Amino acid sequence: NPNNLIIAEVFGNKIYKQYKPNDGVGSVLDNDVLYAFECPKISEAKEWVSIPVQHFYESSYESVFGSPRVVTIDTSGSETVSAAEVRKEIKRIMKPFVKTNKPHQGSNVKDVPYTCFWKPSWGSDDPLDIFDEENEANFDSKERAIFKCVWGKLSEKDETYQKELVVDHSSLGGGGLDGSEKRGGIKLEECLKAFTFEEKLKEGNEYYCRTCKEHLRVTKKMDIWKLPSILVLQLKRFQYTSRYRDKIDSFVDFPLKGLDLGEYCLNSEYKEGNAIYDLFAVSCHGGGLGGGHYWAYVKNRKDGKWYNCNDSSTSEMDPKSVKTSEAYLLFYVKRGFKDPTPKQEEADV
């Protein structure tokens, strides 16, 4: 029943916009992620509201993850809802995400692995613990807020949180999802193809033509002609639109060895395997727009091992851990490149 569906735009694991039945699709961009939530109660209610539910794990910065959900509340009789009613609905929609019911450390909830708070979107009101049975306060359903489900620390979350199963739709043509997409991300090669893809500018982003004095939806294309010996790729981790601004936490699967840029370059000089790059460093960013932390993974050219450089500490690391959704800058060196930097003993002389 289409009357039971809520269509929402999801960005950065958060719900940024819920579409109304009469909203047009002209504002939907090609790379927008839309979710359809099936909510059987709303077709029976005269009035209702929907409140986003988001997953978090405990961290020094905002650590939202996973697929959000919505709680629908029937407000036909009253604009307030009891904590007991919210608890029941939260447990229902969160059930598919529960791998084990082991409570996380410090939780006062015994039957689920997460705690849940009602958090107003504006102002400085403290979040209300809806699983605190002593808290029987009624919530104002008209106030803009979210339900914040906290799964404990990262290690506890990995133990109790069941990742969402993504099923291919027939419209994908049988292409299926590869490993990086199942992790909620894409491959670096796809980013490069998108960078060099010809596109038509969207409505609201037109080019002003000085000859005809009009804003036109023209086509735009970027091409690569010359490649450097040391290549630095910056992943677009921060997005600013007229509707929102936030950090992009999508996982980008990038190769540690053998990145071939020949097919993305127009210059024939870089064909025939003459544009192969190997990764030697990654700059990472954790946090959001309001604050965060930088650290780096680097490969020692003498021993060939990878190291985690975090403030004043440095430690050897597993190369498999270099790939992370917090990667921000990727540093590659072209194969066959001879480092012009003099050796230390020569520099001392």
Longest Cα–Cα distance of the chain, Å, equals 86
The answer to whether residue 23 scores a pLDDT higher than 60 is yes
Which pLDDT value is given to residue 273?
Answer: 79
* pLDDT at residue 220 in the model: 86
Task: For 40-99, give the DSSP string.
Answer: GGGGT-SSEEEEEEEEE---SS--EEEEEEEEEEE-SS-SEEEHHHHHHHHHHHHGGGBS
Quick one: pLDDT at residue 328?
A: 94
Give pLDDT, residue 343.
Answer: 58
**Integer Rg of the chain from CA:** 25
115 pLDDT above the threshold of 80: yes
- For the chain, give the mean pLDDT: 81
280-326: per-residue pLDDT in tens?
999 998 877 666 789 999 999 899 999 999 888 899 999 988 998 88
What percentage of residues in the chain have a pLDDT greater than 90?
Answer: 21
Q: What is the pLDDT of residue 295?
A: 92
pLDDT band at 111 (very low <50, low <70, confident <90, very high): confident
Question: How many CB atoms lie under 10 A from the CB of residue 165?
Answer: 7
> pTM score, two decimals?
0.54
What are the backbone angles phi and psi of residue 166, rounded to the nearest 5°? -100, 125
Cβ-count burial of 21 within 10 angstroms (0-12 exposed, 13-18 middle, 19+ buried)?
Answer: exposed
Taking only the tens place, the pLDDT of each residue in 187-246 is: 899 889 888 888 887 777 788 889 988 888 888 888 899 999 999 999 988 876 655 566
